């Protein structure tokens, strides 16, 4: 003998369905905020016209064989640059553009100074949190671009 389906049962099914939808939405929202910063280009048509040039620049950069890593602590933004043999790259001009992903802070350009062979640094004065950093390295006719996400500890 089965029990009849009551109004209490219907309320539990409806509340359970809403709880499932809310849980999925929260999971997706957390995943979205932790992964992609939501950046888009100003004009997708213009960006599409430059795409082949960007690919060629990427191939030239890859051919250099440079290894570049960036790091930020509470006060200092630093970068290490090595050539394809693992030797320090000296004499580079290094400029970084730092942007807060949500626009809560104004973006700023900083020039890193060589502190040791292959090591470049600058005090940053950034607020704690996530920052988007674009590093442009150059020496003579050689150019290297690195986009990185940095987390400034609180």
Percent of the chain with pLDDT over 70: 97
Which domain does 109 fall in, by range? Answer: 65-152
- For the segment 113-133, the average pLDDT, to the nearest whole number, is 90
Tell me the whole-structure pTM to 2 decimals: 0.67
Q: What is the pLDDT of residues 15-70, one digit of tens each?
A: 999 999 999 999 999 888 777 666 667 788 888 888 899 899 899 989 888 999 99
Q: State the CATH number of the domain containing residue 115.
A: 2.60.40.1220
**CA gap 145, 84 in Å, rounded:** 16
Domain assignment present for 6: no
Domain assignment present for 25: no
Would you say residue 88 has pLDDT above 90?
yes
**CA gap 118, 90 in Å, rounded:** 5
Nearest to 146 by CA among 136, 138, 154: 136
Domain assignment present for 34: no
Domains of the chain: total = 1
């Amino acid at each position: 003998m089965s029990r009849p389906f009551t109004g209490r049962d219907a309320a539990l099914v409806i509340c359970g369905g809403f709880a499932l939808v809310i849980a999925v939405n929260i999971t997706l929202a957390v995943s979205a905020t932790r992964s992609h910063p939501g950046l888009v280009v100003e004009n997708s048509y213009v960006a599409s016209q430059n795409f082949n040039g960007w690919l060629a620049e990427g191939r030239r950069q890859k051919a250099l064989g440079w290894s570049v890593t960036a790091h930020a602590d509470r006060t200092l933004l630093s970068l290490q640059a090595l050539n394809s043999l693992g030797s320090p790259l000296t004499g580079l001009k290094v400029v970084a553009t730092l942007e807060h992903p949500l626009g809560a802070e104004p973006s700023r350009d900083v020039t890193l100074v060589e502190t040791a062979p292959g090591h470049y640094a600058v005090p940053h004065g950034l607020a704690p949190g996530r920052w988007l950093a674009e590093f442009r390295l150059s020496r003579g006719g050689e150019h290297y671009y690195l986009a990185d996400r940095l987390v400034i500890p609180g």
